[in-house]
Amino acid sequence: MKLPYDLPDASGHFGPYGGVFVAETLIAALDELKLAYEDARRDPAFVAELEYDLKYYVGRPSPIYHAKRWSDALGGAQIYLKREDLNHTGAHKVNNCVGQAMLARRMGKPRVIAETGAGQHGVAAATVAARYGMKCVVYMGSEDIRRQASNVYRMKLLGADVVPVESGSKTLKDALNEAMRDWVTNVSDTFYIIGTVAGPHPYPMMVRDFQAVIGRESIEQMRELCGRQPDAVIACVGGGSNAIGIFHPYIPCPDVRLIGVEAAGDGIATGRHAASLSAGRPGILHGNRTYLLQDDDGQIIETHSISAGLDYPGVGPEHAWLKDSGRAEYVSIDDAEALEAFHALCHFEGIIPALESSHAAAYAARLAPTLGKDRILLVNLSGRGDKDMHTVAEKSGLSF
Amino acid sequence: MSRIQSVFERLRGEGRKALIPFITAGDPSLSLTIPLMRALVDAGADIIELGVPFSDPMADGPTIQRASERALANGVNLRRVFEAVAEFRKQDGDTPVVLMGYANPIESLGIDAFIADAVEVGVDGVLVVDYPPEECGEFAARLRAEAIDPIFLLAPTSTQERIARVAAQARGYVYYVSLKGVTGSASLDVESVAARIPEIRAATGLPVGVGFGIRDAQTAKALASVADAVIVGSRIIEEIERSMPTDVVPRVRALVAELRDGVDAAGSLR
């Protein structure tokens, strides 16, 4: 059975969420982008080139792997991993960057900008900018620059300028503010590559479309591997791009549970977390209406998570809609549980997952033992954990 | 006739242009907000734009973001802003006050409560930077029903179609952003601004204020000779930052008086 699903509407709304909440100064740029994207997605030459680069540059399709030893150890449902960690640059972020960089080139914009938190999207943007011969500027909070020195160096090696952002909390949300300011100032020659399914329309839709290759491949691969689709698809949610990427093709399939896993940080009750869907309320930030972590006055509050990639006070508006409509469930996993799953995957499967993806893995580990051995859970392993060595070592009382 | 409308009527009669300074409520401190508003009026402000601080002011440059951060550190929220307007209104029943800020604090308080309080304390106009006309039809209609003017931005990149869309919603005046960029940006091209204004004035039937990047009396004069109002924010915030609490009021008064002279120098040319 398939249910119809065609959001967002023409003005970029997912029910009450999404939209275009930006100053007039950005409207023309967004309109230009919307038209260019509509044109590109219908152009077979664009689609073919995108597929070519995803295959030969990114290394797609990424495999689905049966984590059998880990599943046996958990004693319940079979866990399968969609290996986005095996992509070039080590995470799903590059899928979107390839698409947007190709669009930038098509629009005749020689300069791309990006925001980054942990540096994964910044690295992916710098990578494709090098690949397509574009100038690249990455905005990054000065606090994050301090914490993620090796990714900063990677971006510089790839030829990007990394601009420290000193305003606000000096983290991802401030980097996004700063990138928007650059865009509004330099819009004639600059393309803004947003890294997640947030921002004003058409970004949540466009980034989703570029990431949906994850889910499309999964549907085919699960059919081949298991002869059927999984009982649940599980993905971590910060801004929510890897989750939407794997969820989207499954939305019309009501027999497949969709489970988004947010970062509970020190625990939801402590207030030190990044779980906007689980513990926030709707509001407007970064150009769209969605669930936000905010104080009683509507000021955005700082988030906390062991994984910098989930450290964002908002979430993509489509997730807000999937939550309210009941089509997807959203749960949370704290730092300690995520670390436990991180070590379990290292131990049982010889896979070092990103701390972000470890949140999804942790929820699978919680769910699997409650289900029969014939059940199937598909976890989006959105990135590899090499970037997290320092954080994990520190938690174990070690340092390099 | 709204207070904003009467101001423009009066100025038109006098052959003068409006000066609209911006400060953020609670910057540098809440106790200085009323004295600063009064100083703006003393120095010749026709309308005051009062900033409501937000943690993520995406359309503003670093100067106004710093003002927002100081105000938030001083515990400013919409309640405090309304209290400040009420206090100002006790002494000044004529000068229009326009609240300028972002959507989230307003939606967080609730649109009903926001409008009720704005009416009660005597707010004259509201400019929500991240509410373009297509996302705030109901809000703007409710404001108009309460005789509060919804103020909208227009940009150098706004098409004729968008100008018409804004015209359908806007009252009071429209705020023309003089350049591509954020508040406080450096370069401003008076000729390109001048080229757009007649079209906007004709389409909206409203006075056109120009802001973003006006840093001195000379620029104020140049813009006042083409627009109906000159809006200055970042330059005043910079003056606040350079001052001590003891001399901030006279320094801001002196700066605004200079800008006033610039604006009037243009008006008398016409």
pLDDT tens digits, chain B, 270 residues: what are they? 899 999 999 999 999 999 999 999 999 999 999 999 999 999 999 999 999 999 999 999 899 999 999 999 999 999 999 999 999 999 999 999 999 999 999 999 999 999 999 999 999 999 999 999 999 999 999 999 999 999 999 999 999 999 999 999 999 999 999 877 777 666 678 888 999 999 999 999 999 999 988 999 999 999 999 999 999 999 999 999 999 999 999 999 999 999 999 999 985 544
How far out from the chain centre does Cα B216 lie?
A: 17
Chain A hits for B162, Cβ within 8 Å: 24, 27-28
Global pTM?
0.96
Chain A hits for B77, Cβ within 8 Å: 297, 299
Does residue A300 sit at the B interface (CB-CB below 8 Å)?
yes
Whether B107 and A284 lie within 8 Å, measured CB to CB: yes
- CA distances to A48, A63, A79, A215, A230 from A220, rounded to whole Å, are 19, 11, 17, 9, 12
A-to-B residue pairs, Cβ atoms closer than 8 angstroms? 122
The values of phi and psi at residue B228, to 5°, are -95, -20
Give the position of tokens 């393309």: A191
Burial class (CB in 10 A: 0-12, 13-18, 19+), A252: middle
Does residue B183 sit at the A interface (CB-CB below 8 Å)?
no
Does residue A27 sit at the B interface (CB-CB below 8 Å)?
yes
| A-interface mutation test, from B104, B165, B208, B234, most A Cβ less than 10 A away | B104
Least confident window among A78-82, A324-328, B76-80, B214-218: B214-218
Quote the pLDDT of residue B268.
52
Whether A22 and B57 lie within 8 Å, measured CB to CB: no
Counting every residue written for chain A, the total comes to: 400
Identify whether the C-beta of residue A190 lies closer than 8 Å to the C-beta of residue A183: yes
Quote the pLDDT of residue A276.
98
Least confident window among A90-94, A106-110, B140-144, B181-185: B181-185
Task: Report how far residue A110's alpha carbon sits from residue A132's, in angstroms, rounded to the nearest whole number.
Answer: 9
Task: Report how far residue A236's alpha carbon sits from residue A307's, in angstroms, rounded to the nearest whole number.
Answer: 11
Average pLDDT over residues A6-29: 96
SS (H, E, C) chain A: CCCCCCCCCCCCEECCEEEEECCHHHHHHHHHHHHHHHHHHCCHHHHHHHHHHHHHHHCCCCCEEECHHHHHHHCCCEEEEEEHHHCHHHECHHHHHHHHHHHHHHCCCCEEEEEECCCHHHHHHHHHHHHHCCEEEEEEEHHHHHHCHHHHHHHHHCCCEEEEECCCCCCHHHHHHHHHHHHHHCCCCEEEECCCCCCCCCHHHHHHHHHCHHHHHHHHHHHHHHCCCCCEEEEECCCCHHHHHHHHHHCCCCCCEEEEEEEEECEHHHCECCCHHHHCEEEEECEEEEEECECCCCCECCCCCCCHHHCCCCCCHHHHHHHHHCCEEEEEEEHHHHHHHHHHHHHHHCCCECHHHHHHHHHHHHHHHHCCCCCEEEEEECEECHHHHHHHHHHCCCCC
Whether B154 and A24 lie within 8 Å, measured CB to CB: yes
Whole-number mean pLDDT of chain A?
96
Average pLDDT over residues A249-273: 97
B270 vs chain A: nearest CA distance in angstroms?
Answer: 30
Residue among B56, B78, B181 whose CB faces A285 most closely: B56
How far out from the chain centre does Cα A206 lie?
A: 13
Q: What is the DSSP string of B50-73?
A: EEPP-S--TTS-HHHHHHHHHHHH
The C-alpha angle with vertex A314 and arms to B24 and A237, in degrees rounded to 5, equals: 165
Name the pLDDT band for A263 (thresholds 50, 70, 90): very high
Quote the pLDDT of residue B267.
58
C-alpha neighbours within 13 Å on the C-beta side of residue B205 = 6
Whether omega for the bond prior to residue A4 falls within 30 degrees of 0, making it cis, is: no
Whether B58 and A11 lie within 8 Å, measured CB to CB: no
Evaluate if residue A273 carries a pLDDT over 70.
Answer: yes
For A12, which residue in chain B has the nearest alpha carbon?
Answer: B135
Evaluate if residue A379 carries a pLDDT over 50.
Answer: yes
Chain B hits for A27, Cβ within 8 Å: 132, 155, 157-158, 162
Quote the pLDDT of residue A13.
98
In DSSP terms, which residues pair with A80 in a beta bridge? Answer: A66, A378
Radius of gyration of chain B (CA): 17
Print burial letters for B18-33: b (CB count within 10 Å at least 16), e (below 16): bbbbbbbbbbbebebb
Whether A27 and B155 lie within 8 Å, measured CB to CB: yes
Whether A24 and B153 lie within 8 Å, measured CB to CB: yes
Quote the pLDDT of residue A74.
98
The per-residue pLDDT for range A131-168, each reduced to its tens digit, is: 999 999 999 999 889 878 889 999 999 999 999 999 88
The per-residue pLDDT for range A175-233, each reduced to its tens digit, is: 999 999 999 889 899 999 999 999 999 999 999 999 999 999 999 999 999 999 999 99
Whether A283 and B107 lie within 8 Å, measured CB to CB: yes
Quote the pLDDT of residue A1.
56
The per-residue pLDDT for range A213-223, each reduced to its tens digit, is: 999 999 999 99
